[in-house]
Amino acid sequence: MAAGLRAVRRWALVAAPPGLAFTRSAFVVKKANNAQPNWLGVGLAFSTSAVLWALLIKQHNEDVMEYERRKQERGHKCTECS
């Protein structure tokens, strides 16, 4: 059984393309510096969040107003209006 596991490991190493095990990621160029945050990214993230919350609250208020308007129309039982 141990020989079978060694064979599987050996075939796994042979099957891998050469050099891929030691490559660097193209997206990591330098180590993150936490002493100097990316203020542009921080500002963009917070402003995007604020805009989305503002749009959500605005849409909610419009929906509540439409709900109240329709609720009043349902309760209006006038023969002159119809």
| pLDDT tens sequence across 37-64 | 899 999 999 999 999 999 999 999 999 9
Specify if 59 maps to a domain: yes
54 vs 5, which has greater pLDDT? 54
Specify if 65 maps to a domain: yes
pLDDT score for 13: 54
Chain mean position to CA 36: 25
Specify if 67 maps to a domain: yes
Q: What is the mean pLDDT of residues 68-76?
A: 90
**Full residue range of the structural domain in which residue 68 is found:** 55-81
Specify if 76 maps to a domain: yes
Task: Count structural domains, the chain.
Answer: 1
Structural tokens at position 38: 């990316």
Report how far residue 59's alpha carbon sits from residue 64's, in angstroms, rounded to the nearest whole number.
9
Alpha-carbon distances of 66 from 34, 61, 63, 72, rounded to whole Å: 48, 9, 5, 10
How confident is residue 8, by pLDDT bands cut at 50, 70 and 90?
Answer: low
